[in-house]
Chain A
């Protein structure tokens, strides 16, 4: 079932066209990623979905609601976490949860939510004394306190250290397991690859491609690379005879084989037939970064 449908969304700001033509659908219960470089129109897109901005064209439906016409009802089904700090400095964690819970007719048990995001120990701490990771976790908890069907998480892990980022990713997975559909806005390829079931690549205000992370990579047919040191000299011809192999290059004793499909098993099998063992074998997979580069001609980061 589609919980979000966006068709030909357009948003014009006075000086530039932020969103030119964006369409995508999000199924109930999935983590849908919106990935693209800074300034691609990601945030504007989700702001239109959340009813924070008026669109200039296209249609948007969230659980059947038009964000512009049914603002009130939309806010009951959609929770949103915003990019930057959004609480008064001196408000305490429990006070923020208690206050936001009071905005909804049937709120979640906020004490339990605090537990889930691991902030129970910080309940009496003022917002400004929280670390970046703690703020983001509180922000997620606040987005969930109204028991939304959809949670929009915008640049959730920007500015977090690697450990805090991993903790936050785990939290997002837990949230999805509780049945909430998640729209994740990010410019981190690694984050999108790890968390998203499907994602839309956005560049210059338009969707470049929509697929699963693996599907996107496969779509552009990006190469995999295999690096190894052969146990005995090997002729290029042996490797080039393998159908999956496209190119063989050498640097010193190391051989680099590029190709597609099931490259690693095919190459190791061919080597084994010549009694050669590939030492220090490393497989370099194509990434979303490569896919983005292939699709747009630009680097993601």
Chain B
């Protein structure tokens, strides 16, 4: 408990980074929503871009930033400085520090998502996720999967200098497949098929579906869950304490 408190304090001391992680998606939602006319036009289904597509993409962006940049950054630094090794000389297993990190990042991701929902409601009058139970399920499953992926990135990064590079190399292609630049609805079939298996793609789609009030598709949940199994398995196998 004390460790959680301590690590939270340490994270807060890196506040510019935290603000960036939380504020960038919210800022983009507002700026793009107000700046690009198409964002607030109603399509055939009566949905506006700012209602479901934008906020679900921004949620994915926030979580991907945490998973690809914050988690590997903190953990490789801790490993390099010997923080994890030092801990392993005490009765406390360094795994506890890992768990603490994941809890904090889950909390930051949740906070960021709540801010997106509130901002969407206040600025655009968008509705909160309509299938909220499904949304929470998808959010937790997807966040766990992405954070596990963050652990794998931390595990394979030889040092703190390389970690951000590897993180970006993973993050941008995946964000593309998730539909950040080209929405999945208008992707060519071949690309969408790739996206369907990219873990982040089905996660984004499931967020969007539940946001709009539909049940998440089983196939999407399965792909994300398989991702969770693979990434956590890899993280356990590859993670080095020193």
Q: Which has the most chain A C-beta neighbours within 10 Å: B2, B83, B90, B92?
A: B90
Are A52 and B89 CB-contacts (below 8 A) given A91-B6, A91-B10, A99-B2? Answer: yes
Name B74's closest neighbour in chain A (CB-CB).
A88
Question: For window 55-102 of chain B, which residues contact chain A by CB distance below 8 Å?
Answer: 77-78, 81-83, 85-86, 88-92
CA distance A85 to B86 in the complex (A): 9
A80 touches B91 (CB 8 A): no
CA distance A115 to B103 in the complex (A): 35
Chain A contact surface mostly: loop
Are A86 and B9 CB-contacts (below 8 A) given A50-B89, A76-B91, A98-B2? Answer: no
Q: Please tell me if B13 contacts chain A, counting CB pairs below 8 Å.
A: yes
Name B84's closest neighbour in chain A (CB-CB).
A86
CA distance A50 to B86 in the complex (A): 12
A86 touches B92 (CB 8 A): no
**A contact residues, range:** 20 to 34
Are A75 and B89 CB-contacts (below 8 A) given A82-B82, A84-B82, A88-B81? Answer: yes
Question: For window 151-178 of chain A, which residues contact chain B by CB distance below 8 Å?
Answer: none
B3, B81, B91: the one within 8 Å of A99 (CB): B3
Interface size on B, residues (CB 8 A): 19
Question: For window 64-114 of chain A, which residues contact chain B by CB distance below 8 Å?
Answer: 72, 75-76, 78-80, 82, 84-91, 95, 98-100, 102-104
Are A87 and B9 CB-contacts (below 8 A) given A52-B88, A100-B90? Answer: no
A90 touches B10 (CB 8 A): yes
Which residues of the partner chain A approach B3 to less than 8 Å between Cβ atoms? Answer: 99, 102
B→A interface (CB under 8 Å):
2-3, 6, 9-10, 13-14, 77-78, 81-83, 85-86, 88-92
* A99-B3, A103-B91, A146-B90 known, 19 other contacts, Cβ within 8 Å: A52-B85, A72-B91, A75-B89, A75-B91, A79-B89, A82-B85, A82-B86, A84-B82, A85-B82, A86-B83, A86-B86, A88-B81, A88-B83, A90-B10, A95-B6, A100-B90, A102-B2, A102-B3, A104-B91
